[in-house]
Structure 1
Amino acid sequence: MTNPATDGSFAVVEMFTSQGCSSCPPAEEVLTEIERDARERGQPVFALGFHVDYWDDLGWPDRFADAAYTARQEAYARAFGSGRLYTPQMVVNGTVEFVGSDRRRAAGAIASALMPTAATPLTLSAPDLSGQQVVLDYRTERPAGPAVLNVAIVERGLDSEIARGENAGRTLRQDNVVRAFMSVVLDADRGRVELATPSDLYPRNAAVVGYVQQNGNQAVIGATAIALSTA
């Protein structure tokens, strides 16, 4: 399974969220709409919902939360010079951030990201989707400066019944949830990444998003995705 190489404009839309945050469900609806509309239009827009863990001690432990995702948001806070963590936060191509429920800001940032521009080509192929891991081969062009390749498994159509916390009594339907994530130093034009998958992952609703990101300013300079569906 191989995806076509991408070397033009794209939008990587990362959102930092939590099931314990009452203002997050509307933002997650925005993220769902962004991904669905882009899929219907064939646009290279890649949506990722990172569930942070700093809400977990306030009444409800988010089953998708990971301290690594909080650390990722902290890295953005340093790059933006704010030092502030909040949910829901949306980040587009690593350089623009705003409140995730702001549809107008999201539409404008994505439209700007999709303007014609040169990008770092990136191709993913999946020679092995068996068992509890995804084996990915990548090909790209090494950027001039230090950079990493981020690889995320995202899953749509996840329902969670929330018993406590700010969303107590609600059943949350969540899409584009990051179920696994890793970053590797981009020190070659090609390589292999092995990513462990959750035991309850449903491949028909999942995809792998890969994106090249510069160190320092956190700008995303290349991105693509590959479906995990075996259909």
Structure 2
Amino acid sequence: MTDLTTDGGFAVVEMFTSQGCSSCPPAEELLTEIDDDARTRGRPVFALGFHVDYWDDLGWPDPFADAAYTARQESYARAFGSGRLYTPQMIVNGTDEFVGSDRRRAADAIASALAASPATPVALSVREFDGDRRVVVDVRAERPPPHAVVNVAVVERGLSSEVTRGENAGRTLRQDNVVRAFASVALDGGQARVEVRTPRTVDPQRTAVVGYVQHDGHRAVVGATAVDLAAESR
């Protein structure tokens, strides 16, 4: 199975968004640009779009929304001491947060993250990927901090939705790196096996698995890597 290790600077770019939010499409376009640039230049920048569910009862239920992603955003709000939820929100390496459509802030945060040295090199291997869309991942982390967790996100590119109600009614939204499955588990001796199950509609040719190690207290991300699922589906 594919095994990928990274040990240089990296940027995990988490964005909290919703198809029901009229200010979110520009931020989602920026997330796509960030991912495209990283792939073109071979840079370790990992983009993740978490669709929250608190817009769902305002006219348009986001098909990718999950209450667990809202809970994740809430955990960040507690860590930042703000208690504030909003979309679009972009968070880089768990500590730098700002409005998700702010191009300058995004560029500066990513550049700063890439220039830093990670404390925890991370290796990720896809152990199993079956026809039921069950993904089993092994993660190894060197020198993880105490109370570290490893997050595993399955992200899909090239998704398109026709929105018929709500603030984005009449728009066709194209979205990339949408989180389709997510799990967070404690590291045991720097290792973890993580299992997630994706929707059957997920296309492995457009899907990647991102693994990132995070401090469970102040939320700093200390190491990350990713692998495409396409190689595992042959």
User: TM-score scaled to structure 1, two decimals?
Assistant: 0.97
Deviation track 1:95-145 (CA, whole Å, cap 9, x = no partner) reads 000000000000000000000413311111112111220111121125231
Residue equivalent to 1:195: 196
Q: Which amino acid is 2:184 matched to?
A: S
Within 5 Å, give how 1:36-115 maps onto structure 2: 36-115=36-115
Structure 2: runs of 5 or more not aligned: none
Residue equivalent to 1:219: 220
Q: Which moved more, 1:98-107 or 1:116-125?
A: 116-125
Residue equivalent to 2:149: 148
Within 5 Å, give how 1:123-134 maps onto structure 2: 123-132=123-132, 133-134=134-135
Q: Which amino acid is 1:95 matched to?
A: T
Contact 1:2/1:123 (8 A) holds in 2: no
Q: Which amino acid is 1:197 matched to?
A: T
Q: Which amino acid is 1:219 matched to?
A: A
Residue equivalent to 1:18: 18
Contact 2:3/2:126 (8 A) holds in 1: no
- Write the distance in 1 (CA, Å) between the matches of 2:18 and 2:61: 9
Secondary structure of 1:9 counterpart: coil
In structure 2, relative to structure 1, the CA distance for the partners of 1:185 and 1:204 (3 Å cut) is same
Contact 2:127/2:137 (8 A) holds in 1: yes
Secondary structure of 2:16 counterpart: strand
Report how far residue 92 of structure 1 moved: 0.1
Q: Is 1:137 the equivalent of 2:147?
A: no
How many residues get paired?
A: 231
Deviation track 1:185-213 (CA, whole Å, cap 9, x = no partner) reads 11222232111111100000000000000
Contact 2:137/2:195 (8 A) holds in 1: yes
- Write the distance in 2 (CA, Å) between the matches of 1:144 and 1:73: 22
Residue equivalent to 2:33: 33
Report how far residue 85 of structure 1 moved: 0.3
Superposed CA RMSD: 1.1
Deviation track 1:18-71 (CA, whole Å, cap 9, x = no partner) reads 000000000000000001001100000000000000000100000000000000
Secondary structure of 1:34 counterpart: helix
- Identity rate, percent: 73
Residue equivalent to 1:4: 4
- Write the distance in 2 (CA, Å) between the matches of 1:127 and 1:82: 39
Secondary structure of 1:178 counterpart: strand
